[in-house]
Chain A
Amino acid sequence: GAVVSQHPSWVICKSGTSVKIECRSLDFQATTMFWYRQFPKQSLMLMATSNEGSKATYEQGVEKDKFLINHASLTLSTLTVTSAHPEDSSFYICSARGIAGGYEQFFGPGTRLTVL
C-alpha cells in the first residue's frame, strides 16, 4: 500500500514553454501533498505544500506564479512549471500524506525536467 506515482518520469522542453507534472496517490486518499525539487548532488528542498481544495503554501523564495500547484482531488496534485527556463531543470519529487493520520509522507518516483 501507500503508492505514489508521477507522470511523466522525464520530460524535455524548450525554453519558454510550460510543463505539467502529475502526482497521484494510487491506493489511498491524500489530504496533503508536497512538492520538492532536487538539484544534482543537493538535497531535496520543499517547494510547496498543497491541501486538497485549497491554495498551496509556498516556501520562501519559490515563485507561486511560476510554479502553479493544483490539488483538485484527494488523489491528484499537479505542478505546472510556467515559462520554463534552463535553470528550472531539476528533479521534481512529490510526496503525499494520507487521511488515515500520522505524519509519514510517501514519495513518488520523481520527474526529471530538462529545459533546453
Chain B
Amino acid sequence: KQEVTQIPAALSVPEGENLVLNCSFTDSAIYNLQWFRQDPGKGLTSLLLIQSSQREQTSGRLNASLDKSSGRSTLYIAASQPGDSATYLCAVQQGGSEKLVFGKGMKLTVNP
C-alpha cells in the first residue's frame, strides 16, 4: 500500500529564504507526482506535475524534482514571500490507477 510522507509538518521562515520541502513515498511504481498548494479552508491549486519519466519541473520560483528509485521528491521555493504561506501537499498517482495518494501536507509560514 502506497504511503506518502511529508516531513516536517510545519515550517516557519523569514521572508527571502530559499526553501526545500520534502516528500517521500514507499512504492516507486508511480505514474506521476504532483505538488499542490492549499490555502486555509480552500481547495487545491496544482503547482507542478512531474511524470515518472521526468526528473524535474519548473514554474517561476518553484522547482520540483523527482527521484523515483529512492522514492523522493523535493519542492524548491526560491526567495520565499509571505504570499507563499499555505499548506503544501504532495500526491502520487500509482501506475495503472487513477487514484491519487496524498501526504498530510506541510504548513508553511513565511514571516515578513
Contact = CB atoms under 8 A, between A and B. Distances in A.
Interface in A59-116: 91, 93, 95, 97, 103-110, 112
Interface stretch (B62-70, B74-82, B101-109): B101-109
17 contacts: A43-B103, A43-B105, A44-B100, A45-B102, A46-B99, A49-B99, A93-B43, A97-B98, A103-B31, A103-B93, A104-B49, A105-B98, A105-B100, A106-B46, A107-B44, A107-B46, A109-B43
Interface of A: 6, 32, 34, 41-46, 49, 91, 93, 95, 97, 103-110, 112
B89 interface: yes
B95 to A, nearest CB: 10
A103 B105 contact: no
Contacts, number: 50
Interface residues of B, number: 22
Nearest to B36: A107
A98 to B, nearest CB: 12
Contacts of B105: 43
Which of B31, B43, B44 has the most CB atoms of chain A within a 10 A radius of its CB? B43
Contacts of A44: 44, 89, 91, 100, 102
